[in-house]
Amino acid sequence: MGTIKPTYIKKLSRQLLNEIHAFTADFDQNKKLVEEYTNIMSKEVRNRVAGYITHKKRGEV
């Protein structure tokens, strides 16, 4: 069982998934894409968003 993600992480991740179709199940690639397409300055928040996107992409496969 994992931790519950804050609403702002989920909301931002869903918005990015709907707008950008380049995300994959690879965390490192998603991390770079989140950094490129957003202005998130915090490394922790960027990684949490990328991790949630990766989790969603792995669930689709």
| Residue 3: per-residue pLDDT | 74
Alpha carbon dihedral 25, 13, 36, 43, in 10-degree steps, equals: -90
pLDDT band at 2 (very low <50, low <70, confident <90, very high): low
Structural domains in the chain, CATH included, are 7-60 (1.10.60.20)
| Residue 61: per-residue pLDDT | 59
Of the two residues 1 and 25, the one the predictor is more confident about is 25
pTM of the entire structure? 0.89
Q: Name 45's Cβ contacts closer than 8 Å, sequence gap at least 6.
A: 9
Q: What's the CA gap between 13 and 3, in Å, rounded?
A: 16
Position 1 pLDDT exceeds 70:
no
